[in-house]
Amino acid sequence: MAQIEIRDLGIDYRKPKSNEVFSAVDSVALSVEKGEFVTIVGSSGCGKSTLLMAVAGLVSLTRGSIEIDGKRVDGPGPDRAVVFQEASLLPWRSVRGNVKFGLEMQRWSGGDLNERAMQMIRLVGLGRFSDYHPHQLSGGMRQRVNIARALAVDPEVLLMDEPFGALDAQTREIMGTELLRIWERAKKTALFVTHDIDEAIFLADKIVVMGRNPGHIKEVIKVDLPRPRNEAILDSEEFHELRKRLRAHLAEDMSSMQLVQEVA
Amino acid sequence: MRSAEITAGPAETRQLSLSFLRPSRSAIIGTLAVLAFLVLWQIAPTMGWVNGRFTSRPTEVFFAAIDIFRNDNFLYHARISLTEFVAGFALAIVVSIPLGVLLGTSKIARYLIDPPLMALYIAPTLVLLPIMVIWLGIDMAPKIAVVFLGAVFPIVLNTMAGMSEADPRFLRMARSFGATRFDIFTRVLVPGSLPALLTGLRLAVGRAVLGVIVGELFVSQAGIGYQLNLYGSAMRIDRLLVYALIVSAFGYTLTVMVRSVENKVRDWRSK
Ligand SMILES: Nc1ncnc2c1ncn2[C@@H]1O[C@H](COP(=O)(O)OP(=O)(O)O)[C@@H](O)[C@H]1O
Ligand SMILES: [Mg+2]
């Protein structure tokens, strides 16, 4: 059985100040195998974050179900950890303090806690910076801390919502390679949201393409590029093919969006 | 580790600062301006520009200060004022922090108490002084009450704001790691609202000092305000100025102290 099993998922939001309901995600079904790296790609507002937050247990489901290792998701749990997009590091805590946060929630303490945190900080290459505060770090370094904090609690599933979305193109590439290096060592199941096509292909075993109104899955594409990967595959024939395919999907989404706007 | 951004240094490098050996231009200009003012003040009555009876002179103020510290029962009066200040302020802290926390974390409590609280904050609490005197007599109690009333609202309101305006991204992050309500309170809300709390304390200092002095000016048998009243009716400008300086120095020092803690705490969140 697959590790993550999403069946007929639907999530409605109630619009503030009116009783109108708005469907952000509808009829989503998806299976993810243990150890698989799945990227979710789609234009902005198509429900990627909503889907990910549902798996995290941070939004409640309107329809359908999500199971992880056969257990129904009804809230956050120690089997999952989230790497958020923007600054979600606590500014008053050092790098080490931030990495400790999730461990503290699981009642780690004393020397174990400290050792585990330092181990994770070294894993993401920030050993020298463990006493720095977030505002003293670059955007890329902050996201490394974010990743270390999530990995520290040793989750089964790592959920990432555009973790490199705020970084410049070059840093983003470096972080992608780095993430794969870490992932290959940690062997976690990963769900990774992005709107960057190259990033979606580069990281994935499987790409989930989403469309909008309401958010749904348009296609699931298997990626058979060999691992371990590095920047060289960006120029391979297969990569070009996949890129073309994803572009076509997103272009379709864009034109349908424009149509809606023209009608409205 | 080959990535470029890891080798990039931290945004701030710590350096031993020797800047105090080289006074800045603003410090030099400031000192010169004060000196010029003192000289002008000293010679103005002699030159007949002003009436020295109303302006006194720096030298007179200086000798008045020595006189006051030597034989004006200064310590006695200072102790009384300080006691009123400390008692009122401590009481304000004990009441306002829990109240601010409650209001900051409970929407219902906030809807209920926010409007009257705001009104009391904006209204000068000194208007209640005569009532306090009627209720509490002319001893230390009404001044303690006025200090309390002056200090309590800025602390409550700032603590409340700090708690209720916690970054929702932090709350979501904490929940994703399975934080309980208590975890969120102790590890996100409390440290997150510390700067706001300190701002409240800083604003409260000024109001509390004002409360003591005005309270004593209004009716009292001892204290710095009492002395101010005394020398006011005797037209002792030199002594009045000494007391005014003492009061400002006290308020200023406390404010600067709180602000330095505040800045340290705010440093973490700059940017
Ligand atoms: N808390 C919310 N309340 C109401 N509407 C929301 C909420 N969060 C997201 N939405 C809406 O749901 C849709 C999908 O949002 P989101 O999942 O954030 O998309 P994406 O991550 O793909 O950009 C958007 O139209 C957004 O405006
Ligand atoms: Mg999103």
Instruction: Provide block-wise average pLDDT over 10 residues at a time, chain A (264 residues).
Output: 92 85 93 96 92 96 95 94 87 95 92 93 94 92 94 95 91 91 90 94 96 92 91 91 92 70 54
The nearest CA of chain B is from the CA of A264 a distance in Å of 33
* CA contacts within 13 A on the Cβ side of B137: 4
Q: How far is CA A257 from the centre of its chain?
A: 25
The A residues from 6 to 45 touching B (CB cutoff 8 Å) are none
* pTM, to two decimals: 0.81
Whose C-alpha lies nearest to ligand 1, atom 2? Answer: A13
Cβ pair A83, A161 in contact under 8 A: yes
Q: Looking at domain B56-267, what is its CATH homologous superfamily?
A: MetI-like (1.10.3720.10)
To test the contact with chain B by mutation, choose from A60, A90, A104, A159 the residue with the greatest count of B C-beta atoms within 10 A, namely: A90
CA distance A142 to chain B (A): 11
Is residue A125 within 8 angstroms of chain B, CB to CB? Answer: yes
The 8-class DSSP code of residue B44 comes to: T
User: What is the Cα–Cα distance from B175 to A58, expressed in whole angstroms?
Assistant: 8
- pLDDT given at position B14: 47
Encoding tokens for residue B119?
Answer: 């009104």
Which CATH code fits A4-73+167-263? 3.40.50.300
Q: What is the pLDDT of residue B271?
A: 39
In the prediction, which pLDDT does B156 show?
94
Tokens for A71?
A: 């257990």
Residues 6+ apart with CB under 8 A from B207: B125, B150, B151, B154
pLDDT tens figures, B181-200: 999 999 999 999 999 999 99
Q: What is the pLDDT of residue B1?
A: 38
For the stretch B130-153, pLDDT in tens is 998 999 988 899 999 999 999 999
Structure confidence at residue B92 (pLDDT): 96
Nearest-angstrom CA–CA distance, B68 and B53: 19
Of A14, A49, A218, best ligand 1 pocket probe by most atoms within 8 Å of the beta carbon: A49
In chain B, what are the domain boundaries? 22-52, 56-267
